[in-house]
Structures are given as C-alpha cells and as structure tokens.
C-alpha cells in the first residue's frame, strides 16, 4: 500500500480505474491534481492497450510537472520509447541490471560497460537529459547526470520478490518531500538524487532488519513491517 499523496498505475488497485480499460487515461487524469508523485511499473504487465494508456498517463503527468518514478514494466516501455522520459528532470528510473542493460542499449546504441557501473549510470542519465537513474544491485548506484552516489547501507544476502516495490513506493514519497524541501535542505545536490539515496538506504535497512528476524524466509511483507523503525533510525536521529 502506498502512502497518501501517491498512486501507482497498478491495474488492480481499488479506487483506481483499471489501466487497461479504454478510457483509463481520462479516468486517471481526474486524479492527477491530487497526486504528489506517480509510481509507474510494478505489477503492470506489457499488454499493448495498457502500455498505450500508461504512455498517456505519463504524458499527462509530465504536463502537470508531477514527479514520476518508473520501475519494472514501466522501464520496458521507456526502453521502447525513450522520448517519453527524455529530458523530464522530475523522473527517476529504478532499473535492476537486466532492465538497465536494455535501457542502455536502447538509448546509447551499444552495450553498457559491466566493469564500470558508475560510468554507465552517469552516461545513461546524461543521455536521457539528466533524468535520475538508480541501478539496483549489490550496491545501488545513483546518478543525476552530474554526481554519482553509491548506496552501500548494509542489507542482506537475501533479495525478496517485491522488494523493488518498496524502493519505488518509498521513492515516490521521498521525491515529493525533497522537492518541497528545496535545494537548501538537500545541500546543493539535486533533490531527486538525495531522495533516491534515501529510498535506497531505507529499503536496504528494512532488508537488513527483517533478515535479522526471519533469515532465509524473509519476505517483502517482513521488510515493510520494518519501515517505521528503519525510517526513524535513518532520518529522525
Ligand atoms: C546534464 O548535466 C551535465 C553535467 O552538469 C551538463 O553538462 C549537461 O548540460 C546537463 N544536460 C542537460 C540536458 O541539462
Ligand atoms: C554539504 O556540502 C558541503 C559542500 O559541498 C560539504 O562540505 C558538506 O559536507 C555537505 N554536508 C552534508 C551534510 O552532506
């Protein structure tokens, strides 16, 4: 479940029109004035009608200046049509290695250098017009086209299915907060870069704490249960 002020384009969300219905764009547009951020991709699927609607929703969100986090099948769409996100500086992309490779090939017309994550993430961000990119992995590598940050907050050796939803969902909230706070509070760095670093640290700490309790049987639900304590440890002490 996403916090207030955020919505995801997940087709089955109660209270949202299914994003594969023919008038989904129109239905979702009604919600946009009330949204602080949009998270697109988790659980989406690749149905043609649905992706066409998502494209419309992305365009409407861009027109309103709503920050957008794109993950999972949303990244598949962006790899088909990079122009959708190109130059939109309120977008954050959160690819895993496979999604990153596909995006990189699509945008830079050649394979990413797997020995140089920093350079590759920086180049993809710049080629997209300084859209913030978060490459998820053993360490998370984040760039806004200017700086490159590495989040090495200790997690665990276990990666849960659905863990990415926790990252993209919390990122939606943190992006909104960081943009509200403005550049003085983010110490001169891009608010989106700082938000991305925060969401990575939060997700990793949730993973760490849940793993201490549940070990190999840790699920994303166990991680979500750690959000309160992890948030307070990272941001309120
Ligand atoms: C992206 O950032 C780099 C480094 O600061 C800068 O040289 C470039 O002009 C920026 N590109 C855009 C499209 O803003
Ligand atoms: C803020 O930026 C200044 C100058 O770049 C740096 O010296 C300082 O350590 C930064 N503070 C934090 C909390 O990152």
pLDDT tens digits along 106-159: 999 999 999 999 999 999 999 999 999 999 999 999 999 999 999 999 999 999
Query: Measuring from atom 12 of ligand 1, which residue has the nearest CA?
Result: 129
Output the residue whose Cα is nearest ligand 1's atom 11.
129
State CA 47 to chain mean position distance: 21
* 137 marked as binding residue: yes
Q: What's the pLDDT tens digit per position in 170-226?
A: 999 999 999 999 778 888 899 999 999 999 999 999 999 999 999 999 999 999 999
**What's the pLDDT score for residue 1?**
34
Q: Give the burial class of 117: count Cβ atoms within 10 A of its Cβ; 0-12 exposed, 13-18 middle, 19 or more buried.
A: buried
90 pLDDT more than 70: yes
pTM over 0.75: yes
Q: Would you say the C-alpha torsion 73, 76, 77, 83 has a positive or negative sign?
A: positive
pLDDT at 69 over 60: yes
* 160 annotated as ligand-binding: yes
Mind listing the pLDDT tens digit for each residue in 5-54? 444 444 444 444 466 677 888 888 888 999 999 999 998 989 999 999 99
Ligand 1 closest atom vs CA 89: 14
158 is annotated as contributing to ligand binding: yes
User: Starting from the edge strand earliest in sequence, which strands make up the sheet with 37-40, in order?
Assistant: 6-8, 37-40, 68-70, 91-93, 132-135, 140-143, 148-151
CA distance 208 to 33: 37
Q: How far is the CA of 187 from the centre of ligand 2 (A)?
A: 6
**Two structure tokens written together for 118:** 């920093």
Residue 233: what pLDDT? 97
């Amino acid at each position: 479940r996403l916090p207030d002020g955020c919505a995801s384009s997940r087709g089955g969300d109660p209270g949202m029109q299914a994003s594969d219905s023919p008038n989904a764009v129109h239905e979702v547009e009604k919600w946009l004035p009330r949204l602080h951020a949009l998270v697109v991709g988790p659980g989406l699927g690749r149905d043609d009608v649905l992706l066409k609607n998502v494209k419309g929703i992305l365009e409407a969100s861009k027109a309103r200046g709503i920050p957008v986090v794109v993950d999972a099948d949303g990244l598949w769409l962006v790899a088909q049509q990079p122009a959708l996100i190109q130059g939109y500086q309120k977008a954050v992309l959160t690819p895993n290695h496979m999604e990153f490779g596909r995006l990189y090939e699509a945008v830079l017309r050649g394979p990413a250098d797997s020995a140089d994550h920093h350079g590759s993430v920086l180049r993809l961000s710049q080629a997209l017009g300084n859209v913030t990119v978060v490459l998820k992995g053993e360490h998370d590598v984040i760039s806004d086209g200017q700086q490159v940050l590495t989040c090495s907050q200790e997690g665990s050796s276990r990666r849960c299915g659905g863990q990415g939803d926790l990252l993209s969902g919390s990122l939606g909230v943190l992006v909104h907060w960081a943009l509200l706070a403005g550049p003085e509070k983010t110490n001169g760095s891009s608010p989106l870069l700082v938000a991305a670093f925060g969401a990575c640290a939060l997700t990793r700490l949730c993973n760490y704490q849940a793993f201490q309790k549940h070990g190999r049987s840790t699920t994303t639900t166990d991680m979500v249960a750690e959000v309160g304590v992890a948030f307070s440890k990272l941001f309120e002490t």
